[in-house]
């Protein structure tokens, strides 16, 4: 009876628009999630995609962006109708998020001037270094301002035609609302933020304008950047054209309020209840990043550490590595191919589970093996390009357990180097770290590896599998229902996560010591990876 009543209540809530929709453009999947007033996911849809290297840039085609969004929404809409027997025509609030930062530049007609350049590009080193020196503030290679200045240094023809720049999340938001808006968390990866005003840092904006003044461009930086909004504020509403773009079938009605668009860093913090000071989260996927909400300023600028903000504007230190799970996925694919060649049908979840759990049987340091899952360059370790690499000596203990442990360790190697700066050099205190991402679908293993790498307890909540689209839906819900009443931290703590269960794993001494031995080998072996970059020519075909 309770199930029937709950089903009927959800049906009525959908019809009344008492829901929130979050859509996130991840690096390998676009996902749409619809949640109810209890913040439970009641329908979802997705679209798989991959970035590709074109003309020297990692990018996604504009057509795929729109097609992916429409496909993910259509699947969600179909699930709503099939499950609840009601056509989705409105929702209470909508929010979009995307892989953080990168570069999208538009002319005055709204036409994209160059394909979307993603976070994965390591082509902006010259610009990032110069701006870091100018601002005395770390400007990572993936930040929008680094892409813009590198385009200027490269004398790219499109720069003189720029009317606006934004990120993937900001682009989609504008297409659906007509507003040049950005959430402060995502904005903090476009250009440095003034913590006092929650706006772009004015003296740095002026420094940049002065830097490029002799180029004669018809724009100033402040005129091309999107307007910043804080979590809880409304940043536009769905236009008629936007409704038609999202739902070509014409069922979705315009007028739905939008929360500020955010990056996957911000949605990761929200989805793991990590917006309070001294809390942290680690997000694992194609890339990996750890974010710690600070209770004090860092003593100096570190090129390995990004300074960004939570969606409500609190300062955050981020260690971001471009490479994480891609190489592991490739090796698991090889094992699948072998199993199928032997005549076995293999379930994906079981394959990952078996291989990951073998890592728990390994030598603590991985038996002397070494790998680098560098599909692209890695800023933290100073590599401009990447070559996936596996290395062993004749004395290494080469078996499946050590092989898997080494690849899992390697997935967090660059991140470990960045996080050591915070914990060892800056003495940053971390009360808790919450983890999310596909790697944690296999219980225990991923948590033990991360706990060993960071030497802190790592928690995974029962909601960890919901991901960034769910986090974006929560931000939409916060704007719709809670923004004027309580802080984002209180909303998450008291409303969303009050009864959410989780599992915490503390670091084990043997694992921590084993990871320290591995990371010493990892640091020394970077010269091998650099040699591979120099001598193993990449085939772009």
- Rounded to an integer, the average pLDDT of 386-392 is 97
Q: Is it the case that residue 67 has pLDDT exceeding 80?
A: yes
HEC string for 9-31: HHHHHHHHCCCEEEEEECCCEEE
CB-based burial of residue 527 (10 Å sphere; 0-12 exposed, 13-18 middle, 19+ buried)?
exposed
Q: How does pLDDT run across 151-162, given as a tens digit for each residue?
A: 999 999 999 999
pLDDT the model gives residue 268: 86
Q: Is it the case that residue 55 has pLDDT exceeding 80?
A: yes
**Residue 227 counted as domain residue:** no
Identify the domain containing residue 518 by its residue range: 326-411+509-535
CA 472 to chain centroid: 12
Of all residues in the chain, the percent with pLDDT exceeding 70 is 97
Q: How does pLDDT run across 361-378, given as a tens digit for each residue?
A: 999 999 999 999 999 899
Q: How does pLDDT run across 337-351, given as a tens digit for each residue?
A: 999 999 999 999 999
Question: Which of 77-81, 117-121, 241-245, 504-508 has the weakest average pLDDT?
Answer: 117-121
pLDDT the model gives residue 541: 42
pLDDT the model gives residue 508: 96
**Residue 344 counted as domain residue:** yes
Q: What does pTM read for this prediction?
A: 0.82
The single residue listed with the structure tokens 């938001």 is 173
Confidence of residue 236 (pLDDT cuts 50, 70, 90): very high
Q: How many domains is the chain built from?
A: 1
DSSP 105-157: EE-TT--BSSPEE-TT----HHHHHHHHHHHTS---TTSHHHHHHHHHHTT-G
Tell me which range, 96-100, 313-317, 410-414, is most confidently predicted by mean pLDDT: 410-414
CA distance 152 to 127: 9
Q: Is it the case that residue 206 has pLDDT exceeding 60?
A: yes
What average pLDDT does the structure give for the chain? 93
- Rounded to an integer, the average pLDDT of 404-412 is 98
Q: Is it the case that residue 463 has pLDDT exceeding 80?
A: no
Q: Is it the case that residue 2 has pLDDT exceeding 50?
A: no
Q: How does pLDDT run across 132-155, given as a tens digit for each residue?
A: 999 999 998 889 999 999 999 999
**Residue 340 counted as domain residue:** yes
pLDDT the model gives residue 90: 97
Q: Is it the case that residue 5 has pLDDT exceeding 50?
A: no
pLDDT top residue among 358 and 123: 358
Q: How does pLDDT run across 483-536, given as a tens digit for each residue?
A: 557 899 999 989 999 888 889 999 999 999 999 999 999 999 999 999 999 999
**Residue 354 counted as domain residue:** yes
CA distance 175 to 195: 29
**Residue 352 counted as domain residue:** yes
**Residue 95 counted as domain residue:** no
pLDDT top residue among 346 and 285: 346
């Amino acid at each position: 009876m309770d199930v029937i009543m709950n089903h009927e209540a959800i049906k009525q809530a959908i019809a009344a628009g008492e829901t929130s929709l979050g859509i996130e453009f991840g690096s390998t999947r676009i996902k749409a999630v619809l949640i109810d007033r209890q913040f439970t996911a009641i329908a979802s849809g997705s679209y798989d995609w991959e970035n590709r290297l074109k003309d020297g840039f990692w990018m996604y085609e504009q057509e795929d962006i729109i097609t992916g969004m429409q496909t993910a929404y259509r699947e969600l809409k179909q699930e709503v109708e099939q499950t609840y027997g009601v056509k989705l025509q409105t929702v209470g609030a909508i929010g979009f998020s995307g892989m953080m930062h990168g570069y999208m530049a538009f002319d005055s007609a709204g036409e994209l001037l160059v394909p979307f350049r993603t976070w994965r590009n390591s082509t902006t080193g010259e610009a990032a270094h110069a701006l870091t020196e100018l601002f005395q503030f770390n400007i990572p290679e993936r930040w929008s301002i680094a892409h813009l200045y590198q385009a200027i240094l490269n004398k790219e023809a499109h720069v003189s035609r720029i009317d606006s720049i934004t990120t993937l999340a900001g682009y989609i938001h504008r297409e659906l609302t007509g507003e040049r808006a950005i959430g402060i968390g995502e904005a903090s990866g476009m250009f440095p933020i003034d913590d006092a005003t929650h706006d772009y840092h004015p003296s740095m904006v002026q420094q940049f304008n002065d830097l490029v003044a002799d180029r004669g461009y018809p724009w100033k930086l402040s005129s091309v950047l999107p307007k910043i909004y804080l979590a809880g504020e409304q940043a536009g509403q769905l236009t008629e054209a936007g409704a038609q773009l999202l739902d070509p079938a014409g069922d979705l009605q315009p007028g739905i309020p939008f929360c500020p668009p955010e990056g996957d860093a911000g949605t990761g913090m929200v989805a793991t209840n990590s917006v309070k000071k001294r809390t942290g989260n680690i997000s694992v996927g194609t890339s990996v990043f750890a974010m710690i909400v600070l209770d004090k300023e860092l003593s100096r600028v570190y090129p390995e550490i990004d300074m960004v903000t939570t969606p409500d504007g609190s300062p955050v230190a981020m260690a971001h590595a471009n490479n994480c799970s891609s190489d592991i996925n490739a090796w698991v694919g090889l094992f699948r191919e072998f199993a199928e060649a032997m005549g076995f049908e293999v379930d994906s979840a079981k394959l990952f589970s078996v291989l990951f759990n073998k890592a728990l049987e390994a030598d603590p340091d991985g038996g002397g093996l070494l790998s680098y899952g560098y599909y692209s360059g890695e800023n933290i370790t100073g590599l401009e390009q990447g070559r996936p690499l596996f290395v062993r000596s004749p004395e290494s203990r080469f078996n499946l357990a050590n092989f898997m442990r080494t690849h899992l360790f390697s997935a967090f190697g660059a991140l470990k180097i960045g996080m050591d700066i915070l914990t060892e050099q800056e003495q940053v205190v971390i009360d808790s770290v919450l983890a999310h991402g596909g790697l944690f679908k296999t219980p225990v293993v991923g948590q033990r590896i991360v706990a060993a790498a960071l030497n802190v307890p790592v928690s995974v909540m029962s909601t960890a599998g919901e991901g960034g689209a769910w986090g974006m839906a929560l931000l939409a819900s916060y704007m719709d229902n809670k923004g004027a009443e309580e802080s984002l931290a209180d909303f998450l703590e008291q409303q969303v996560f009050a009864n959410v269960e989780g599992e915490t794993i503390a670091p084990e001494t043997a694992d921590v010591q084993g990871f320290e031995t591995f990371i010493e080998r990892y640091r020394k072996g970077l010269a091998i990876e650099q040699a591979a970059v120099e001598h193993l020519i990449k085939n772009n075909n």
